[in-house]
């Protein structure tokens, strides 16, 4: 029985956001609040041989100063998500050595931000520069300068994982396609930067944080360990979050605020400026990937061999994340029977890498999809036809890939066929031929993808050999208040995905209400929201875990309402239904009991409860996705759990004089199973696709040889504007997942995964007369112009 | 740091304040007047999140000093919002799902407001040009363009 799930309902949260009444982190002000600013290293790699902050402390308006030495004395190192081969101390401020330009070395809290920034100028740091390590391949070499001499190497992980008879498949193959691809550093750059407020209660020795951190469960664990206080004396609250896309996490900044707040005895707020955000928060790994496809003459791909170097920058928080997640989509949607994956996770003196919409999957998809298109070129096949010959078929679902990912549902060939139809592929090919005849540079690109949802943290066991966290789960709460009103909360703080609306749709269906009747808490509050270590807004997990948590809590409340009503009506519970805000006898018109009346029984008139029934009408439920499992003895791993899929068709035109690539059309057909709110789903597809288009044509964090970031503002690091992208054309198929409670699958990362490959193939196609192969991004006018001029 | 006295009108109300000379208009609105609907996204005049109307024209409040606003009429998202409910433009944004995280939205509304005040029948290309100075990281702009188009259709003629 669903009346609300599946409807394209406009969002509940929009009223306040449109009126300017949202409440984002920087809108929160605490009494007596101070503002922090951070002094950051100008060098990519240097020893700190002197640091004198004495004068800064004397600036009028300054209340506290914190250096790396202070942080060492007052806190413990930040625990990494996975342990490094040798334990490395990672403090919230640099100690002894800086390892990227922009690394914080000291912080000041003052009456306002400007005063704090003034005081930073009085801190004197003496650096002894060390050689920068910018190129990840160079960082692998034994003679490379080391970020952590104690480690003896810059390599955090190197392994070769082999699944199936790769050697045999290559020996049997009619041919091998070998290509080397590169991906640049880029990031989704949410419009609101990262920030936090910390408040210390000296009497309780307790801390409260307000932050737009998108993964509060993990962050709370780190804060407790680093501050050496039990989690019971920590509280973390997230307000409205102005976009996140994986980028919004940096426990070190919360620690800096906490230590400053403790020193100053006043709350301390820190909000990144955009320079700090672009240069020091989080980039997707850049990297290099060698791809070898072993194929038969008919285009059947027999095996895939990949060597992948992920450039982590100075990332000790979540290294190897990009490598591991690539295993989840390494064969993309294809029936490739044998896979070898050689992974390097390597440190360089650049901004820490971290989660960014898709984490590794965009590069993996780019490499495989580019390779497939190049194979089609080599074999003289249409790129669509080559794909259709290799897809996992619908009747093979659920299908397990050689590394152990399970594709649960979908019809990949049907998705591509629908995309070709929507694109009018044959018609566009004819128009392209006509256009070429008149000198236009028109190109068509196709890319298809799988889109996993839900990360199984057990996969880190592949690297560490032991299990710390595992599985994928989330918690939620539903409560009928004493006045009959309904409130829900989930441990996953929304960052623009409209959870207040979708959770209300789900709860309304279970309790016989309308979404307007259900108040869904904004964000997360560890004191009131149910949560797990695994809680947070990451890995596309809403449909895979959160929905089950909300449903479980709603159903528990519904069952209790029915039990109370059955007792009072003296009928069997099975004869009752929930509708129109009441519990009533099925098929019998009449009021039965309203939720308000039942709530009065549950909270006030408790002698009216059935014997043994506890007072109250609240349920908490945590849902663990059933697909997660430990790493297999054969090293197979379900690093991700439930798979959507998509096909993109892109039409570009290149300006011969300037090299500018203009995207004329971009068609997306996707299948994320049951769409809980199609309006929101379509919006996610538009947005994620444009993230991919930005990566394809515009965005790059470019470093010089000394490790200086050259694209540190939005004047140099170019984001797509409304003039750079077309109206994304979207269509859908719906193959529900058998492994999620409502059949929904992930949709948050979608377009960001295949769009770069689609654009690259379209550009290459447009430049067919120039014999160009696109092996890296972004495809800037300068690069195109050089190809045209060659 | 020297202070300056300024007088201006914000959302139709007279405002008189003494502020540091280096205070930006964005900080005046947010910190001094509590009008937190205006958001600061880049502080170097590129992203457009802080866009407000100054004497009816869009302006980056992060690039203006408060003291430059002497005698000006400033309108923020709070001023574009009716006392009850939403404006026709805001309602179109809601219906078209033209916002996700909502952080760019106040600036987008200001840009769209300026466009529709000058051009009641904009083409899609004109709409895209009008909002090209405002970055949105969530929507890919598709639904923002649709919403402004819908609002234009609904303008009284």
A729 and A608, same domain (yes or no):
no
Question: Beta strand pairing status for A34-40 and A268-271?
Answer: parallel
Does the distance separating the beta carbons of B137 and A687 come in below 8 Å? Answer: yes
Does A464 score more than 90 pLDDT?
no
The gap from C-alpha A176 to its chain's centroid, in whole angstroms, comes to 34
Quote the pLDDT of residue A588.
81
Select from B95, B100, B134 the residue whose CB has the most chain A CBs within 10 Å, as the one to mutate to test that interface: B100
Q: Which of A10, A240, A688 sits opposite B97 (nearest CB)?
A: A10
Confidence class for position A1, pLDDT limits 50, 70, 90: low
CATH 3.10.20.30 domain span(s) along chain B: 3-79
Is A714 in contact with B135 (Cβ distance < 8 A)? yes
Residues A481 and A567 in one domain: yes
Distance in angstroms (rounded) separating the CA atoms of residues A167 and A301: 14
Cα A392 versus chain centre, distance: 26
Yes or no, beta carbons of B128 and A274 under 8 Å apart: no
Best A7, A9, A10, A17 residue to mutate vs chain B (most B CBs within 10 Å):
A17
* A557-564 average pLDDT score: 98
**pLDDT for residue B56 is more than 90:** yes
The CATH number of the structural domain formed by B88-153 is 1.10.150.120
Dist. CA A5–CA A736, nearest whole Å: 14
Return all residues near A632 (Cβ < 8 A) that are at least 6 apart: A404
Residues of A in contact with B136 (CB under 8 A): 191
Q: Are residue A663 and residue A744 in the same domain, yes or no?
A: yes
Cβ-Cβ pairs closer than 8 A, A with B, add up to 165
Q: Is A602 a domain residue?
A: yes
| Token couple for A225 | 């360990």
C-alpha A188, offset from chain centre: 10
Q: Are residues A485 and A594 in the same domain?
A: yes
For residue A708, give both structure tokens.
Answer: 């200086």
Portion of chain B with pLDDT greater than 70, in percent: 99
- Tell me whether residue A356 is in a domain: no
Question: How crowded is residue A607: how many other Cβ atoms within 10 Å of its Cβ?
Answer: 5
Residues A511 and A426 reside in one and the same domain? no
Of the residues B99, B104, B137, the best mutation for testing chain A's interface (the one with the most A CB atoms within 10 Å of its CB) is: B137
Dihedrals phi, psi of A278, to nearest 5 degrees: -75, -30
CATH number at residue A540: 3.30.365.10
**Nearest-angstrom CA–CA distance, B127 and A183:** 33
Per-residue pLDDT, averaged over A173-184, amounts to 98
pLDDT digits (tens, 9 = 90+) for A255-271: 999 999 999 999 999 99
Final residue belonging to a domain, choices A624, A655, A674: A624
Q: CA-CA distance, A18 to B102, in Å (whole number)? A: 7
Q: How far is it, in rounded angstroms, from Cα A237 to Cα A403?
A: 38
How far is B13 from B79, CA to CA, in rounded Å? 10
- Check CB contact under 8 Å for A686 and B139: yes
When CB atoms are compared, the residue of B43, B103, B143 closest to A273 is: B43
Q: Does residue A611 share a domain with residue A705?
A: no
A596 lies in the same domain as A648: no
Helix (H) or strand (E) holding A262: helix A251-264
Q: Give residue A593's domain range.
A: 473-624
Coil, strand, or helix at residue B72? coil
Chain A residues with CB under 8 Å of B46 CB are 713-715
| pLDDT range class, residue A87, cuts 50, 70, 90 | confident
Domain boundary among A600, A624, A648: A624
Q: Give the contacts of A349 (CB within 8 A, at least 6 positions apart).
A: A44, A45, A99, A100, A101, A132, A133, A134, A147, A313, A314, A707
Q: Is the pLDDT of residue A569 over 80?
A: yes
Within-domain flag for A147: no
Closest Cα partner for A605 from A594, A618, A592, A615?
Answer: A615
Q: Which domain-ending residue is among A232, A257, A281? A: A281
Chain-chain contact of B102 with A242 (C-beta, under 8 angstroms):
yes
Task: Name the residue of chain B whose CA is nearest to A681's CA.
Answer: B97
Q: Is residue A766 part of a domain?
A: yes
Q: Does A602 lie in the same domain as A644?
A: no
Q: Show the tokens assigned to A770.
A: 């120039």
Q: Token pair of A374, please?
A: 């190049």
Query: Cα(B58)–Cα(B33) distance, rounded to whole angstroms?
Result: 19
CB A473, CB A686: distance < 8 Å = no
d(CA A701, CA B59): 28
Rounded to two decimals, the ipTM of the complex is 0.98
Edge-first strand order for the sheet with B13-20 is: B13-20, B3-10, B73-75, B51-54, B57-60
| Chain A residue with Cα closest to B135 | A721
DSSP single-letter state for residue B31: I
pLDDT for residue A80: 84
Which CATH architecture does the domain made up of B3-79 adopt? Answer: Roll (3.10)
Q: Which of A11, A23, A241 sits opposite B97 (nearest CB)?
A: A11
Q: What does the pLDDT look like over A644-692, one tens digit per residue?
A: 999 999 999 999 999 999 999 999 999 999 999 999 999 999 999 999 9
Average pLDDT over residues B99-103: 98
| A65 Cβ neighbours under 8 A, 6+ residues apart | A53, A56, A57, A106, A107, A108, A109, A119, A123
With contact defined as beta carbons under 8 Å apart, do A257 and A199 qualify?
Answer: no
Asked if the structure places residue A698 within a domain, the reply is yes
Give the domain CATH number at A80.
Answer: 3.90.1170.50
Separation in Å, CA of B141 to nearest CA in chain A: 6
How many beta carbons lie within 10 A of that of residue A194, not counting itself?
A: 26
- Domain for residue A274, yes or no? yes
Do residues A481 and A557 both lie within one domain?
Answer: yes
Q: What is the number of structural domains in chain A?
A: 3
A444-459: pLDDT as tens digits: 999 999 999 999 999 9
């Amino acid at each position: 029985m669903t009346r609300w799930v599946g409807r394209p309902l406009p969002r509940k949260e929009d009223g306040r956001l449109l009126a300017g009444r949202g409440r984002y982190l920087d809108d929160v002000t605490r009494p007596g609040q101070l503002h922090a600013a951070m002094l950051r290293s100008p060098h990519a790699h240097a020893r700190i041989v002197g640091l004198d902050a004495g004068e800064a402390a004397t600036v009028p308006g300054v209340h506290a100063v914190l250096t790396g030495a202070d942080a060492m004395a007052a806190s413990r190192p930040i625990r990494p998500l996975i342990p490094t081969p040798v334990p490395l101390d990672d403090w919230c401020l640099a100690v002894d050595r800086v390892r990227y330009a922009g690394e914080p070395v000291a912080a000041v809290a003052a009456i306002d931000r400007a005063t704090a920034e003034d005081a930073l100028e009085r801190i004197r740091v003496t650096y002894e520069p060390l050689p920068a390590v910018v190129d990840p391949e160079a960082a692998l070499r034994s003679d490379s300068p080391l970020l952590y001499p104690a480690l003896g190497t810059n390599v955090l992980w190197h392994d070769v994982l082999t699944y199936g008879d790769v050697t045999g498949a290559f020996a049997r193959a009619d041919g091998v396609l070998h290509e080397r691809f590169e991906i640049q550093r880029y990031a989704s750059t949410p419009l609101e930067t990262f920030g936090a407020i910390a408040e210390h209660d000296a009497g309780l020795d307790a801390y409260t944080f307000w932050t737009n951190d998108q993964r509060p469960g993990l962050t709370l664990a780190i804060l407790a360990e680093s501050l050496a206080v039990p989690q019971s004396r920590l509280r973390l609250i997230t307000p409205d979050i102005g976009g996140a896309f994986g980028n919004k996490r940096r426990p070190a900044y919360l620690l800096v605020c906490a230590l400053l707040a403790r020193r100053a005895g006043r709350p301390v707020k820190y909000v990144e400026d955009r320079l700090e955000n672009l240069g020091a928060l989080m980039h997707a790994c850049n990297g290099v990937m060698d791809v070898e496809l072993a194929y038969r003459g008919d285009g059947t791909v027999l095996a895939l061999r990949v060597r992948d170097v992920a450039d982590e920058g100075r990332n000790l928080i979540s290294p190897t994340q990009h490598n591991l997640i690539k295993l989840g989509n390494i064969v993309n949607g294809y029936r490739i029977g044998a896979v070898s994956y050689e992974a390097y996770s390597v440190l360089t003196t650049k901004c820490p890498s971290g989660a960014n919409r898709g984490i590794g999957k965009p590069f993996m998809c780019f490499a495989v999809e580019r390779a497939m298109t190049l194979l089609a070129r080599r074999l003289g096949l249409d790129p669509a036809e080559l794909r259709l010959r290799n897809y996992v078929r619908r009747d093979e679902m659920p299908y397990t890939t050689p590394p152990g990912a399970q594709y649960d549902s979908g019809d990949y060939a049907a998705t591509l066929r629908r995309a070709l139809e929507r694109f009018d592929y044959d018609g566009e090919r004819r128009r392209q031929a006509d256009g070429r005849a008149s000198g236009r540079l028109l190109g068509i690109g196709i890319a298809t993808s799988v889109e996993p949802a839900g990360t199984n943290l057990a996969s880190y066991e592949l690297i560490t050999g032991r299990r710390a966290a595992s599985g994928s789960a989330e918690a939620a709460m539903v409560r009928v208040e004493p006045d009959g009103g309904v409130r829900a909360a989930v441990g996953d703080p929304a960052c623009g995905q409209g959870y207040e609306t979708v959770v209300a749709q789900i709860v309304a269906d279970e309790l016989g209400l309308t979404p307007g009747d259900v108040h869904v808490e904004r964000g997360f509050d560890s004191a009131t929201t149910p949560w797990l270590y695994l809680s947070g807004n990451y890995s596309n997990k809403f449909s895979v875990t959160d929905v089950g948590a909300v449903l479980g809590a709603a159903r528990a409340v519904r069952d209790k309402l029915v039990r109370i009503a059955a007792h009072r009506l003296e009928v069997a519970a099975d004869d009752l239904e929930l509708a129109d805000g009441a519990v009533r006898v099925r098929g019998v018109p009449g009021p039965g009991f309203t939720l308000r009346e039942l709530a009065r029984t549950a909270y006030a008139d408790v002698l009216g409860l059935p014997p043994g029934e506890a007072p109250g009408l609240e349920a908490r439920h945590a849902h663990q996705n059933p697909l997660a499992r430990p790493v297999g003895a054969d090293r197979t791993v379900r690093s991700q759990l439930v798979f959507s899929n998509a096909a993109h068709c892109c039409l570009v035109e290149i300006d011969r004089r300037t090299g500018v690539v203009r995207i004329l059309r971009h068609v997306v057909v996707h299948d994320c199973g049951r769409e809980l709110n199609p309006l929101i789903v379509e919006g996610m597809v538009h947005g994620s696709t444009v993230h991919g288009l930005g990566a394809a044509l515009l965005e790059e964090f470019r470093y010089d040889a000394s490790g200086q970031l050259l694209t540190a503002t939005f004047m140099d690091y170019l984001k797509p504007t409304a003039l750079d992208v077309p109206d994304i054309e979207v269509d859908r198929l719906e193959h529900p997942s058998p492994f999620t409670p409502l059949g929904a699958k992930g949709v948050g990362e979608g377009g960001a995964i295949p769009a770069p490959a689609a654009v690259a193939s379209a550009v290459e196609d447009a430049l067919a007369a120039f014999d160009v192969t696109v092996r890296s991004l972004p495809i800037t006018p300068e690069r195109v112009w050089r190809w045209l001029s060659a | 740091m020297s202070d300056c006295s300024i007088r201006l009108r914000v959302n139709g109300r007279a405002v008189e304040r003494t502020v540091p000379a280096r205070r930006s208009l964005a900080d005046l609105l947010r910190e001094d007047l509590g009008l937190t609907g205006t958001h600061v996204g880049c502080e170097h005049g590129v992203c457009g999140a802080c866009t407000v109307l100054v004497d009816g024209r869009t302006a980056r409040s992060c690039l203006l000093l408060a003291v430059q606003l002497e005698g000006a009429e400033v309108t923020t998202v709070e001023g574009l919002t009716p006392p009850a409910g939403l404006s026709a433009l805001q309602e179109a944004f809601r219906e078209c799902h033209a916002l996700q995280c909502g952080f760019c939205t106040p600036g987008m509304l200001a840009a769209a407001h300026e466009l529709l005040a000058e051009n009641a029948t904009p083409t899609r290309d004109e709409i895209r040009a009008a909002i090209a100075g405002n970055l949105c990281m969530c929507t890919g702009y598709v639904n923002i363009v649709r919403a402004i188009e819908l609002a234009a259709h609904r303008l009284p003629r």
